[in-house]
């Protein structure tokens, strides 16, 4: 499958760091695309600036619009309204989509055009040097919060649901099969869909928080993946009680 | 019980990023994959397939590999062949160019507000997309578009801010529609980054700026012409754009059509620099039987960001035509492939973005002359101020002054050569402006004759008597 | 060249803007050039509103009113604000119901009271006072044809059109009587 996906959907290998969680998302995404039979000739990928934004552009063999930082969702709104026959998919990071671009995200959710927005959430700015973002957990170390992040993060699922998104999901890259299933559901949904993809940045986040989070072993990314699996649980299980403060994963459909 | 070997494990070591990853090595429950021994020329130690026979085909490694380097295939089944994906032909390849259209309004006289005439001009020009955000004194354009676009089969979206408005217009333009937004001072400032993006990606679009007295919130409903320099230099990087300056409701209509044509012709954002006077002024104007329209070329397969000519304008396909467009605001080659460290590509691109405009200065430049035949002094004016100026020139003529006037209808690219010629032919150039002297500086750059500024920055239309006084006072000055 | 500068002023809500638009449309219909420079600012109820009209049979250069041929004062505030600046060349119309002409500061301008509100009430629509004033403007300037005004006023809903045309016609008559032509 690896070769098939590469040849069918990509133009070139990614420049991501070894073990980058965004690569695992890319892998799951293309598995989903292939399983769905999504027509790449009728699909436009819109992405802004940052590592996550590089997933589709310049890598996917579809129309790609690589735009200014934070504005991908707004550009996508123009693309989709001007030609509703196109599948319009936004992929980007938490800095891009949820921090500088947060305003566009909530308004797109409210507007409920059938856009698909995947936020590859690695809890900080990767490409620009590991700075704190709107999703960095309180206390975490980033290059601009050396003593630990004093601010509270956004919960992107709550944010998108609060803004009215009729499909919201959260899946971790450490569970690629669930992630793929979610992507299929999001892509086949007929309205606005948002996914908080719990990604991993070994280079910036991993190194900075190695001691704090206890990432061990020679392969830090593997330890991060293992750790991530331990921090999440299906939302259905957490609805009644969540003593360990696990991060709920799964899908939230608006009751209609 | 011996198990039938049915899976082949392929690990592409050229794609594998090696020891800092080793996700697959850690993930494989059967020890099929192992740390590598070979070090590549990139200094990586890719993982390797050590015990292929042990593979159970669980595909955990395949789904986790961030670089799609692993392929597990079921050898009991026929080899997977990747279907060749051909480029789909666009539904209607078109070479673009000029056509005659019947227009949208009934031919003949109309009476309308400038902002409304601008919206009608856009509809006549084939504008099918508007995204905007309310702001005085430009909101009336949006109001009219919100009614007219649904009537004409177009799309209207009110966005969350001006940043998003500009973004949506660019997105729509690549979806194949002619798009526009309209704003004023503060909103224009917010649009700057994406206007630069439109320049870099050669996206046709029209931005209307109904200038109001600034800086900052200033006087929201009062006129000024403080955005002349911003229109050209507001986006970073220094690039050519086109800007037109209407002086009447008639020109709010005519120049909006021209703005669309120029933006399609040169694949560049065109800025219509109105002001609170021409925006809110109500006036009678004339609508012609037909409208001449220019459409961008859509040529399948042609590089969308490069031409052989140094000043060329490449064709522009739309999304969904199977072109697999790579559009980016980063430096790119003719196919849109990013070249962010290549000095030659950067130089060629920036040069062409500029040359395609500047080399066509004659085609873009538009101005009108009044009383120029025997003029010893020339007033250089634009926008609503030109109306006050022409009134003043007439009065000065009544007093026997040999004063003429040159009215700029296009201001960017600046028609420096025209200014130079009139400077050479006259003893003085006089520039009345409702700012602190933006165009007068440009005029000074191009003329060897003395240049005088008549500046008014009180948020009112230029008082024609102020210009008259200057012209009549200047007589005594020149004589001495 | 024939040209008329008309200044309409009143308070927000008195229909100054609408009156200027109707005047302008009528002139356009009659083949004249016309420009209307609206007053700036929030057109809130109760604030001073003005509309500057230039009507001409040639292209209009400066769209503002510098030396008004006709001034219409819809309210006392508007009247008091503009009257001192007017000269003997301006024909001033004011609503005799709401405006008391200034006695202390005699103006050089020729003044004509029009009982616009009364005319409107009699026509069946108290809000049509501005239409009566339009009739007065038509009486005072050859550039504003009464029949074109009638045409524009007849476009609206039937009942309103009727009262508007009636009020305008009466205003025209009242002005004509005083202008003496
Ligand atoms: S910096 Fe982080 S997010 Fe960016 S490519 Fe490297 S590992 Fe991935
Ligand atoms: S998961 Fe892929 S990139 Fe990582 S070590 Fe294995 S083959 Fe290499
Ligand atoms: S498919 Fe499963 S068993 Fe085979 S190499 Fe991959 S992880 Fe190991």
Handedness of CA A77, A158, A121, B194 (dihedral sign): positive
Which mutation among B9, B10, B24 tests ligand 2's pocket best, with the greatest number of atoms within 8 A of CB?
B24
| pTM, 2 dp | 0.94
Of B222, B284, B461, the CB nearest to C64: B461
Q: d(Cα B184, Cα B212) in Å, to the nearest integer?
A: 7
Sorting pLDDT into bands at 50, 70 and 90, what band is C107? low
At B3 the pLDDT is 53
Which residue of A35, A75, A78, A204 is the best one to mutate when testing the B interface, meaning the one whose CB has the most B CBs within 10 A? Answer: A78
Shortest alpha-carbon distance between residue C36 and chain B (Å)? 5
CATH no. for residue C21? Answer: 3.40.920.10
Find, among C96, C49, C90, the residue nearest to C71 by Cα: C90
Cα-based distances in Å from A107 to A52, A160, B202: 21, 10, 27
Report CA(A121)–ligand 1 centroid distance (Å). Answer: 11
CB neighbour class for B38 (10 Å; exposed up to 12, middle 13-18, buried from 19)? exposed
**Do B282 and C61 make contact, defined as CB atoms within 8 angstroms?**
no
**Nearest-neighbour CA in chain A from B145: distance (Å):** 15
Question: Could you give the 3-state DSSP secondary structure of residue B119?
Answer: helix
Separation CA B410–CA B402 (nearest Å): 25
Query: A151 burial class (0-12, 13-18, 19+ CB within 10 angstroms)?
Result: exposed
Q: Is the pLDDT of residue B90 over 90?
A: no
What is the CA(A23)–ligand 1 centre distance, in A?
9
Q: What pLDDT was estimated at residue B83?
A: 56
Tell me, using a 6 A CB cutoff, whether residue B44 lines ligand 2.
no
Task: Tell me, letter by letter, the H, E, C secondary structure of chain C.
Answer: CCEEEEEEEEECCCCHHHHHHHHHHHHHHCCCEEEEEECCCCCCCCCEEEEEEEEECCCCCCCCCCCCCEEEECCHHHHHHHHHHCCCCCEEEEECCCCCCCCCCCCCCEEEEECHHHHHHHHCCHHHHHHHHHHHHHHHCCCCCHHHHHHHHCCCCHHHHHHHHHHHHHHHHHHHHHHCC
pLDDT score for C41: 56
Burial of C87 (0-12, 13-18, 19+ CB in 10 A): exposed
- What pLDDT is recorded for position B479? 40
Task: Test C35 with B388 for CB contact under 8 angstroms.
Answer: no
| Measured CA distances, B420 to A8, B130, B375, B411 (Å) | 59, 39, 15, 15
Place of tokens 């999304």: B319
**CA–CA–CA angle C3, C8, C11 (5° rounding):** 170
Residue A189 lies in a domain: yes
Rounded Cα distance between B375 and B446, Å, is: 19
Question: Cα of B64 to ligand 2 centre, how many Å?
Answer: 8
Q: What pLDDT is recorded for position B81?
A: 61
Residue C176's pLDDT band (cuts 50, 70, 90): very high
Give dist(CA B288, CA A252) in Å, integer: 56
* DSSP codes of every residue in B380-419: EEETTHHHHHHHHHHHHHHTT--EEEEEESEEES--HHHH
Counting one residue from chain A and one from chain B, the pairs whose CB atoms sit within 8 A come to 230
Return the exposure string of C12-38: e unless at least 16 CB atoms fall within 10 Å of the residue's CB, then b. bebbbbebbbbbbbbbbbbebbbbbbb
pLDDT at residue B477 greater than cutoff 90:
no
- Is the pLDDT at B233 greater than 70? The verdict is yes
Q: Which of B86-100, B192-206, B378-392, B455-469 has the lowest mean pLDDT?
A: B86-100
Q: Which of C126, C112, C137 is nearest to C167 (CA)?
A: C126
Q: Kindly report the nearest CA distance between residue A240 and chain B, in angstroms.
A: 32
On the 0-12 / 13-18 / 19+ scale of CB atoms within 10 A, B133 is buried
- The band of B1, judged by pLDDT with boundaries at 50, 70 and 90, is very low
* Span C114-144, pLDDT tens digits: 999 999 999 999 899 999 999 999 999 999 9
Q: Whose CA is nearest to atom 4 of ligand 3?
A: B55
Question: Ligand 3 centroid vs B55 CA: distance in angstroms?
Answer: 5
Is A8 contained in some domain? no
The three-class DSSP label of residue A132 is strand
Residue C115 burial by CB count (10 A; 0-12/13-18/19+): exposed, middle or buried?
middle
User: What is the extent of the structural domain holding A101?
Assistant: 20-235+246-253
> How far are the Cα atoms of B88, B191, B206, B293 from residue B178, in angstroms, in the given order?
23, 18, 8, 12
With H, G, I as helix, E, B as strand and everything else as coil, classify residue B379: strand
Tell me if B172 and A30 make a contact (CB, 8 A cut-off).
Answer: no
- Nearest Cα of chain B lies from the Cα of A3 at a distance, in angstroms, of 6
Query: Is 70 exceeded by the pLDDT of residue C45?
Result: no
pLDDT tens by residue, A42-68:
999 999 999 999 999 999 999 999 999
Contact B408, B440 (CB under 8 A): no
Give the residue from chain A lying closest to B19, CA to CA. Answer: A219
* Sheet containing strand B367-370, strands side by side: B367-370, B403-408, B377-382, B428-433, B451-455
Return the residue in A63, A89, A197 with the most chain B beta carbons within 10 A, the one to mutate for interface testing.
Answer: A63
Residue of A nearest to B318 (CA): A63
For the domain that residue A38 is a member of, what is the CATH number? 3.40.50.970
* pLDDT over 70 (residue A14): yes
Q: Is the Cβ pair B129, A82 closer than 8 Å? A: yes
CA-closest residue to ligand 1 atom 5 = A16
Name the residue at shortest CA distance from atom 1 of ligand 2.
B65
> What are the φ and ψ backbone dihedral angles of A39, each rounded to 5 degrees?
-80, 105
Indicate whether this complex's ipTM tops 0.90.
yes
What pLDDT is recorded for position B476? 45
Nearest to B319 among A18, A83, A180 (CB): A83
Q: DSSP secondary structure string, B332-350?
A: B-TT--B-TT-HHHHHHHH
Closest CA relative to residue B381, chosen from C58, C61, C39: C61
Tens-digit pLDDT profile for residues A61-100: 999 999 999 999 999 999 999 999 999 999 999 999 999 9
Q: Chains that contact B by 3+ CB pairs under 8 Å? A: A, C
Task: Look at chain C and report how many structural domains it folds into.
Answer: 1
| Per-residue confidence band for B85, with pLDDT thresholds at 50, 70 and 90 | low
Query: What's A10-75 look like in SS3?
Result: ECCCCCCCCCCHHHHHHHHHHHHHHHHCCCHHHEEEEECCCCHHHCCCCCECCEEEECCCCCHHHH
Q: Hey, what's the torsion of the CAs at B152, B158, B162, B164, to 10 degrees?
A: -90
> CA C178 to CA A49: how far, in whole Å?
74
- Of B423, B403, B143, nearest to B279 by C-alpha is B143
Domain presence at residue A241 = no
Q: What is the rounded CA–CA span in Å between residue B404 and residue B371?
A: 4
Over chain B, what is the mean pLDDT? 93
B406 forms bridges with which residues in the sheet? Answer: B369, B380
Closest by Cβ to A74, choosing from B163, B174, B337: B163
| Residue B279 to residue B252: CA distance in whole angstroms | 8
CB-based contact B367:B406 (threshold 8 Å): yes
pLDDT at B461: 95
Give the Cα separation of A225 and B387 in Å (integer). 70
Selected for mutation to probe chain A from B154, B169, B171 (highest A CB count within 10 Å) is B171
Q: Which residue has the tokens 């409304």?
A: B116
Range B126-132 average pLDDT? 98
Q: What confidence score (pLDDT) does residue C102 get?
A: 76
User: Which residue segment(s) compose the domain that C90 sits in?
Assistant: 3-179
Domain assignment present for A155? yes
Q: Ligand 1 pocket test: pick from A133, A201, A215, A222 the residue with the most ligand atoms within 8 Å of its Cβ.
A: A201
Q: Do residue A31 and residue B155 have CB atoms under 8 angstroms apart?
A: no
Ligand 1 centroid to residue B225 C-alpha, Å: 46
Laid out side by side, the sheet with A167-172 consists of A232-234, A247-253, A167-172, A193-198, A116-121, A87-93, A43-47, A63-66, B326-328
Chains that touch C (3 or more CB pairs under 8 A): B
Q: How many domains does chain A have?
A: 1
Domains of chain B, start order = 7-74 (3.30.70.20), 97-296 (3.40.50.970), 366-479 (3.40.50.920)
Q: Which residues does C contribute to its contact with B (CB < 8 Å)?
A: 20-21, 24-25, 27-29, 31-38, 40-42, 60-64, 66
Q: Which residue of B has its CA nearest to C61?
A: B387
CA distance C76 to C80: 6
* CA–CA dist C34, C25 (Å, integer): 8
Nearest residue (CA) to ligand 2, atom 5: B22
* Ligand 1 atom closest to the CA of A199, numbered from 1: 3
Q: Which ligand is nearest to the CA of A52?
A: 1
Q: Which residues contact B42 (CB under 8 A, 6 or more apart)?
A: none
Residue-wise pLDDT tens digits, A227-244: 999 999 999 999 888 989
Chain B neighbors of C21, CB-CB under 8 A:
111, 282
The protein residue whose alpha carbon is closest to atom 6 in ligand 1 is A17
* B84 has a pLDDT exceeding 90: no
Give the H or E element holding residue A135.
none
Distance in Å, CA A176 to ligand 3 centroid? 15
What is the distance in A from the centroid of ligand 2 to the CA of A25? 14
**Residue B128: helix, strand or coil by DSSP?**
strand
> Are residues B33 and B53 in contact, defined by beta-carbon separation less than 8 angstroms?
no
Query: Which atom of ligand 2 lies nearest, measured to the CA of B33?
Result: 6
Given the CA of residue B33, which atom of ligand 3 is nearest to it?
A: 5
Q: Which of B409, B412, B117, B388 is nearest to B246 (CA)?
A: B409
Report pLDDT digits (tens) over B311-330: 999 999 999 999 999 999 99
**Pocket test residue of A13, A17, A25, A94 for ligand 1, highest count of atoms within 8 A of CB:** A17
- The owner of tokens 């939302």 is A235
Shortest distance between the Cα of B281 and any Cα of chain C, in A, equals 5
- Are A82 and B164 in contact (CB < 8 Å)? no
Residue A193's pLDDT band, with cuts at 50, 70 and 90, is very high
DSSP B147-202: HHHHHTT-EEEE-SSHHHHHHHHHHHHHTT-EEEEEE-HHHHHHHHHHHHHHHHTT
Helix (H, G, I), strand (E, B) or coil at B38: coil
Q: Which ligand is nearest to the CA of A16?
A: 1
| Helix then strand then coil, % of chain A, to nearest 5 | 40, 20, 40
According to DSSP, the residues that pair with A63 across neighbouring strands are A44
Answer whether residue B38 shows pLDDT above 60. yes
- Model confidence at B480, in pLDDT bands (50, 70, 90)? very low
Specify the DSSP element, H or E, that contains A8.
helix A2-9
Residue A36 falls inside a structural domain: yes
- Greater confidence, C92 or C88? C92
Which residue, B202, B316, B319, is CA-closest to B269? B202
pLDDT score recorded for residue B80: 56
Query: How do B326-328 and A232-234 pair as beta strands?
Result: unpaired
CB contact under 8 A, B111 and C31: no
């Amino acid at each position: 499958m690896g070769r098939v996906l590469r040849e069918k959907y990509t133009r070139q290998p990614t420049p991501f760091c070894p073990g980058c969680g965004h690569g695992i998302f890319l892998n799951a995404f293309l598995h989903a695309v292939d399983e769905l039979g999504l027509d790449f000739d009728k699909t436009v990928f819109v992405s802004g600036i940052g590592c996550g934004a590089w997933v589709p552009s310049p890598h996917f063999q579809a129309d790609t619009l690589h735009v200014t930082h934070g504005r991908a969702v707004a550009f996508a709104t123009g693309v989709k309204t001007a030609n509703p026959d196109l599948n319009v998919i936004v992929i980007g990071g938490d800095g891009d989509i949820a921090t500088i671009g947060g305003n566009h995200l909530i308004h797109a959710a409210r507007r409920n055009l059938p856009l698909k927005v995947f936020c590859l959430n690695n809890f900080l700015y990767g490409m620009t040097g590991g700075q704190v973002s709107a999703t960095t957990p309180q206390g975490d170390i980033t290059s601009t919060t050396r003593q630990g992040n004093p601010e509270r993060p956004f919960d992107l699922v709550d944010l998108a649901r609060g803004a009215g998104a009729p499909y919201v999901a959260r899946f971790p890259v450490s569970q690629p099969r669930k992630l793929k299933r979610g992507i299929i559901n999001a892509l086949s949904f007929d309205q606005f869909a948002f996914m908080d993809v719990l990604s991993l940045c070994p280079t910036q986040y991993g190194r900075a928080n190695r001691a704090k989070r206890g990432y061990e072993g020679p392969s830090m990314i593997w330890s991060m993946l293992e750790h991530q699996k331990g921090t999440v649980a299906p939302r259905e299980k957490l609805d009644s009680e969540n003593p360990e403060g696990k991060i709920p994963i799964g899908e939230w459909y608006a009751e209609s | 019980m011996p198990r039938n070997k049915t899976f082949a494990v392929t690990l592409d070591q050229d794609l594998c990023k090696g020891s800092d990853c080793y996700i697959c090595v850690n993930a494989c429950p059967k020890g099929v994959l192992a740390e590598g021994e070979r070090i590549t020329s990139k200094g990586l130690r890719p993982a390797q397939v050590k015990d292929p026979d042990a593979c159970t085909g669980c595909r955990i490694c395949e789904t986790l590999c961030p670089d799609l380097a692993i392929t597990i295939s079921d050898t009991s089944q026929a080899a997977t062949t990747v279907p060749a994906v051909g480029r789909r032909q666009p539904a209607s390849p078109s070479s673009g160019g000029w056509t005659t259209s019947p227009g949208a309004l009934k031919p003949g006289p109309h009476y309308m507000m400038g902002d409304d005439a601008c919206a009608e001009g856009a509809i006549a020009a084939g504008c099918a997309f508007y995204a905007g955000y309310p702001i005085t004194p430009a909101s009336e354009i949006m109001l009219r578009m919100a009614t007219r676009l649904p009537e004409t089969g177009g799309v209207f979206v009110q966005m969350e801010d001006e940043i998003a408005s500009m973004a949506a217009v660019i997105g729509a333009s690549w979806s194949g529609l002619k798009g526009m937004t309209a704003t004023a001072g503060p909103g224009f400032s917010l649009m700057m980054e994406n206007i630069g993006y439109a320049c870099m990606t050669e996206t046709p679009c029209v931005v209307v700026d109904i200038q109001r007295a600034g800086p900052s919130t200033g006087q929201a409903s009062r006129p000024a012409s403080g955005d002349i320099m911003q229109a050209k230099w507001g986006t970073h990087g220094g690039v050519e754009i086109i800007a037109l300056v209407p002086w009447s409701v008639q020109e709010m209509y005519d120049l909006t059509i021209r703005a669309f044509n120029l933006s399609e012709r040169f694949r560049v954002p065109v800025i219509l620099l109105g002001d609170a006077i021409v925006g809110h002024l109500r006036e009678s104007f004339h609508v012609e039987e037909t409208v001449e329209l220019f459409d961008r070329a859509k040529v399948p397969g042609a590089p969308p960001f490069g031409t052989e000519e140094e000043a060329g304008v490449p064709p522009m396909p739309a999304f969904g035509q199977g072109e697999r467009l790579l559009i980016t605001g980063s430096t790119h080659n003719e196919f849109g492939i990013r070249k962010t460290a290549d000095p030659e590509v950067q130089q060629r691109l920036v040069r062409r973005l500029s040359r395609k405009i500047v080399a066509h200065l004659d085609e873009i430049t538009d101005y009108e002359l009044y009383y120029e035949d025997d003029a010893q002094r020339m007033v250089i004016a634009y926008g609503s101020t030109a109306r006050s100026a022409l009134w003043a020139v007439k009065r000065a003529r009544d007093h026997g002054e040999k004063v003429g006037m040159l009215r700029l209808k296009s201001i960017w690219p600046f028609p420096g050569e025209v200014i130079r010629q009139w400077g050479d032919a006259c003893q003085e150039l006089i520039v009345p402006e409702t700012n602190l002297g933006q165009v007068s500086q440009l005029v000074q750059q191009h003329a060897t004759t003395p240049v005088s500024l008549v500046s008014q920055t009180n948020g009112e239309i230029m008082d024609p008597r102020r210009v008259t006084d200057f012209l009549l006072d200047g007589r005594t000055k020149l004589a001495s | 060249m024939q040209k008329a500068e008309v200044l309409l002023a009143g308070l927000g809500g008195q229909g100054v803007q609408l009156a200027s638009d109707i005047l302008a449309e009528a002139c356009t219909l009659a083949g004249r050039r016309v420009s209307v420079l609206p007053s700036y600012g929030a057109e809130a109820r109760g604030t001073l509103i003005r509309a500057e009209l230039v009507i001409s049979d040639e292209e209009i250069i400066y769209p503002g009113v510098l030396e008004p041929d006709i001034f219409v004062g819809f309210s006392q505030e508007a009247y008091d604000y503009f009257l001192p600046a007017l000269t003997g060349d301006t024909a001033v119309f004011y609503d005799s119901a709401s405006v008391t002409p200034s006695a202390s500061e005699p103006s050089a301008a020729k003044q004509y009271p029009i009982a616009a509100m009364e005319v409107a009430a009699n026509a069946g629509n108290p809000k049509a006072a501005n239409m009566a004033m339009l009739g007065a403007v038509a009486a005072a300037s050859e550039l504003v044809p009464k029949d074109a005004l009638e045409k524009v006023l007849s476009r609206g809903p039937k009942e309103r059109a009727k009262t508007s045309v009636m009020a305008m016609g009466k205003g025209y008559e009242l002005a004509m009587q005083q202008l003496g032509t």
